[in-house]
Structure 1
Amino acid sequence: MAPPLRLARTAVFAVVCLGLGVAAHVLGGASVPMPAMAAALALAFAAAYPLSGRERSFAAILPLLTGLQVILHLLFSLSHTASPHALTGHLHAGLVPDLGMLAAHGWAVGMTALWLARGEAALWALLRRLAVRLLVIRLPLLTPTPFSTPLCTTEPPMLRSAVLRHVVSGRGPPRVAAA
């Protein structure tokens, strides 16, 4: 994969991961210092870069995002400058979260991983279609040789949601039953 596209995909993942961690921490009632955010962004970028060379599925995104959120939670919790007594009302006061916080983090990580996986699928479908279209445009320019193999010029199938694939439409007036 081209380095600019790989860096862009890595940057999107790192920013989404950082945004999720910071938003959860701020909604929990704490602040996040700028050095901690910079360190978290660098950490998320470094963790995501090795996996950005090919298409990632939900099964690859979920554990990476979960692990990074745990590390970011610890990093943000340890980066508070206030005393431990000032943080007693804060939801992220301890390093070990309570059950409600775990449920909120789990739900947010699951939904974000699903969102990123759908974006990955859409991006790769677009790139495949673009490659086929460029091949079709370039095909007449190539001079065929007697021993050349035919190139595949069919477009990949459109990805459709599994939920809507088998839905029967009930639009229109009801049928008149013959009596």
Structure 2
Amino acid sequence: MSPRDPSLRLIRAAVFGMACVVVSAGGHLLAGGGAIAPWALALGAAASLSLALVLGGRERGREGVLAATAGTQMLLHLLFAQTSAHVVVPDHGHPRPGMIVAHLTVALLTGWWLYRGESSVWTLLRLWSAPSPRLPRLLAAAPVLLPSPVRPAVPEGEPEPRGRRELAAVVHRRGPPAPSRAG
């Protein structure tokens, strides 16, 4: 699988789009914005997925992922505010300082999480595609013969123990401990 593989690009775009839609819809509902129409969720998901597909052709840096996440969150907020079934909070469709701070905070946290995941995927792809210089040497190396274990010599006159010498004095008991009498 290469970084340019369309299936990998689609998977990365789907993760980005769904993370943005779920976080925005959840925040909208928790803020009292009312129910979101299913077609608005589908439209938001399609728009987020399309944006991520356009931007997902190469590895993006931290700033790019954070900016895309913040922009997508704001657009989804506007879409959900305009298409809600009912608006519980007055002026929910108009940006207020608290709403902007909440959206930016959530967008930064979500963007950071997405960036770290994106960075991990690209690192794994680079490691997977890089040849390992040690692997051929390991495969070509001669097998190492391990020495056989050395048994201690048994003095004359003593019978040779059947098991290991260290465990000769171990006492095995089955069952719970015997009841003791209190004094």
Which band: TM-score by shorter chain?
0.5 to 0.7
Displacement of 1:137? 6.2
Aligned position for 1:26: 29
Q: Contact 2:17/2:49 (CA < 8 Å) preserved in 1?
A: yes
Does 2:104 match 1:106? yes
Could you list the runs of 4 or more consecutive aligned residues of structure 1 that deviate by over 6 angstroms after TM superposition?
134-139
What aligned pairs does 1:136-175 form with structure 2 within 5 A after superposition? Answer: none
**1:134 Cα deviation from its structure 2 partner:** 7.0
Residue 10 (structure 1) shift: 0.5
Deviations 1:6-41 (A, max 9, x none): 100000000011011111101111221111000000
When normalised by structure 1's length, the TM-score is 0.68
Query: What do residues 93-149 of structure 1 show as CA deviations (whole Å, max 9, x unaligned)?
Result: 43222111111111100111111111111111111111125787699xxxxxxxxxx
Higher Rg of the two aligned structures: 2
Structure 2 unpaired stretches of 5+: 138-183
Whole-angstrom CA distance in 1 between matches of 2:134 and 2:13: 30
1:56 and 1:23 map into 2 onto residues whose CA distance is: 26
Partners of 1:57 and 1:120 within 8 A in 2: no
Could you say if the C-alpha distance between residues 79 and 134 of structure 1 is closer, same or farther in structure 2, counting changes exceeding 3 Å? farther
| Structure 2 CA distance for partners of 1:55 and 1:80, relative to 1, 3 Å | same
Query: Is 2:50 aligned against 1:43?
Result: no
Measure the CA separation in 1 of the matches of 2:39 and 2:14.
18
Give the total of aligned pairs: 134
Task: Provide the identity percentage.
Answer: 33
1:9 corresponding residue in structure 2: 12
Q: Secondary structure at the match of 2:130?
A: helix
Distance 1:45 1:28, change over 3 A: same
User: Cα distance 1:16–1:23, how it changes in 2: closer, same or farther (>3 A)?
Assistant: same
Q: Is the 8 A contact 2:36 2:85 kept in 1?
A: no
1: CA distance, partners of 2:43 / 2:135: 46
Superposed CA RMSD in Å reads: 2.2
Equivalent residue, structure 2, for 1:121: 119
Q: Distance in 2 between matches of 1:81 and 1:121?
A: 38
